[in-house]
Structure 1
């Protein structure tokens, strides 16, 4: 169950990064809504990360959490913020994904 908490925490990390990007683009009072979304996503992400680390090794949990956030944020950047896509970015994203999966398999 704690692996599920950790994955959801990582997805909410992507959510707070997305909210930061949208807040940067927003105007007027919409900016505050995006910052509010950032705070909500951050709170949920950290709460679930804390819950997951109660039984998972801290180093593994943190690496997986940041890995999910990093991969997700790069993909969000490509899909929503027109970040560049090239062969090396894809290669390193795939390397990061394989490292995250590898950590899952070598952890108890």
Structure 2
């Protein structure tokens, strides 16, 4: 169950990052509210996953899902550049996440 919590926390990490961008500096109340709820949910689910998973594993996976997810949303929804260097960097992050998962004893 801890891994499910962790993946959900990572997805909410992407949601709050996107909502923060859409809030335009907290000037749009709905986007700001979505950001706050997603942020609280993300941290709450991370805390639940850490009941079982080691800190290093949980935190690394959480931030990695958030980073790569926000990167993907930036490209797909916001028209950000998908250069070879940026795609390579994202691939390295994903490979690190896979290695972290495979090396975890939980």
Aligned counterparts, 1:50-89, within 5 A: 50-89=47-86
Structure 1, unaligned runs of 5 or more: none
8 A Cα contact 2:75 2:81, kept in partner: yes
**Displacement of 1:51 after TM fit?**
0.1
Q: Paired residue for 2:21?
A: 21
Counterpart secondary structure, 2:23: helix
**Displacement of 1:82 after TM fit?**
1.4
Change (3 A) 1:42 1:26: closer
TM-score normalised by L of structure 1: 0.92
Q: Paired residue for 2:43?
A: 46
Change (3 A) 1:98 1:25: same
Match of 1:94 among 91, 94, 106: 91
Large movers: runs of 4+ above 2 Å: none
- The alignment's C-alpha RMSD in Å is 1.4
Counterpart secondary structure, 1:24: coil
**Displacement of 1:84 after TM fit?**
1.0
Q: Between Structure 1 and Structure 2, how many residues are aligned? A: 105
Structure 2, unaligned runs of 5 or more: none
**Displacement of 1:36 after TM fit?**
0.2
